[in-house]
Amino acid sequence: MSLIPVEEAYRLLVEDARPLARTETLPLRDASGRILGADLASLRTQPAFDASAMDGYAVRAADLGDEAPFPSLRLVGESAAGHAYDGTLQPGETIRISTGAPVPAGADAILIQENAHRRDSTVTATAPVVVGQHIRPAGIDFAAGTPLLTAGTVLTPGAIALAASGGHPSIPVRGRPRVAILATGDELVLPGEPIGPSQIVASNTFGVAALVREAGGLPLNCGIAPDREAAIDAQLTQAIADGADIFVTIGGASVGDHDLVGKVFAAHGVSLDFWKVAMRPGKPLMAGRLGDMRVVGLPGNPASSMVAATLFLAPLVRRLAGRPARPLYRRGILAAPMPDNGDRTDFVRARIEPDGAGPPRIVPLSRQDSSLLSIYAAADALLVRPVRAAPAEAGDPCDYVPLTALEPLAEHN
């Protein structure tokens, strides 16, 4: 396969994906950050009663009239939140009432305490009231059966509170994409394990898993497979049995003698959408399908793997999770001159400098070695240099990809 443009690879892998159909029901306390799986209507009316909007006295507006001096009212009781006055207010009577407390039968206005003078069991108004003043009618927020949230809504704290107010102790959410992640290579060891003179730490496994989790997926750590087809094959077979929605390999997707991922995919009948993308870093990126499961082969080079996962894997997870779509690129202002570019889209590790007056300034980092994770970790953006782009000057518009999460996602078990 020849190299394909970044935008075409994105279309094949991400834009053609559809949200997963499966849902699960979670208690509200565990649903934050998830995606609502079905439309949600209220099971109750809120508020269920006429409620006072202020601290003061429940009165009959007709008892006070329109002009001072206002007649004194007899204090006969109290209505507090959770403790309603159980009588009916008669002419010439009033009760003490708290914010949020039920308005008693017979009352039609609230005299706020700032406009009342109390002496023993007598209350005298210092200002008039009108019918309905400072009363929240029953159902002013919503009535039973009112649609509250639509399927596909991100369950923010506000959405969770609304569902609770509507009487739902648990709600349906879309299933999280299950992403099996396998690092390949004889040279790899896990952090903390003894490391030989020719070995390196499998750092990408953890970075990619963090991206998956941040995008709303559930990472499944398949560990490390040595450079043997049988070992990779066994992990792919296990991922299928575990119901993975995406099978991700890290390393082994290039053209070296020990790059075996493509052979294993072919043996399983994987239908490749593309293999190798016209981008730097991240060219040896592979993607395809095996039945309903997506397969993604990431490069083994540390920064290459993270850049490719940021551009393609994370958006795929978001799409399968039913999360809102994001543009592939955003618009900024170049903070330093850049030379012309070659035949691949270049993703330059960069920093974002916010500009309150307009688009942010994008500052390219001085070093761009794709083997250096420290450079990637120092970046919070990828500056996009298109194929065969002409030299650019500071102040020119540019595209960039943010590397930071645009909204928080809660951890889920």
**Residue 412 — very low, low, confident or very high, per pLDDT cuts 50/70/90?**
very low
Residue 169 exposed, middle or buried by CB count within 10 Å (0-12, 13-18, 19+): exposed
Could you give the residue range(s) of every CATH 2.40.340.10 domain in the chain?
A: 330-402
Contact 9, 287 (CB under 8 A): yes
H or E element, residue 218: strand 218-225
Torsion of CA 11, 15, 17, 23, to 10 degrees: 160
Interior/surface letters 115-130, b for 16+ CB within 10 angstroms, e for the rest:
bbeeeeeebbbeebbe
pTM: 0.84
| CATH for the 51-136 domain, from 1.10.10.10, 1.10.3720.10, 2.170.190.11, 2.60.40.10 | 2.170.190.11
Q: What confidence tens digit (pLDDT) does each residue in 21-80 have?
A: 999 999 999 999 999 999 999 999 999 999 999 999 999 999 999 888 999 999 999 999
CA distances from 58 to 24, 87, 100 (A): 46, 12, 12
Per-residue pLDDT, 159 = 98
349 near 379, Cβ under 8 Å?
A: yes
Residue 62: predicted pLDDT: 96
Write down the CATH number for the domain with range 24-46+141-174.
3.90.105.10
The domain defined by 330-402 folds into: Beta-clip (2.40.340)
- One-letter amino acid at 391 equals P
Q: Is 115 helix (H, G, I), strand (E, B) or coil?
A: helix
Distance between CA atoms of residues 222 and 249, nearest Å: 9
Task: Based on DSSP, count helices (H) and strands (E) in the chain, helices before strands.
Answer: 9, 26
Beta pairing class for 330-334 and 397-402: antiparallel
- CA atoms of 387 and 242, how far apart (whole Å): 40
- CATH topology for 6-22+175-321 is Molybdenum Cofactor Biosythetic Enzyme; Chain A (3.40.980)
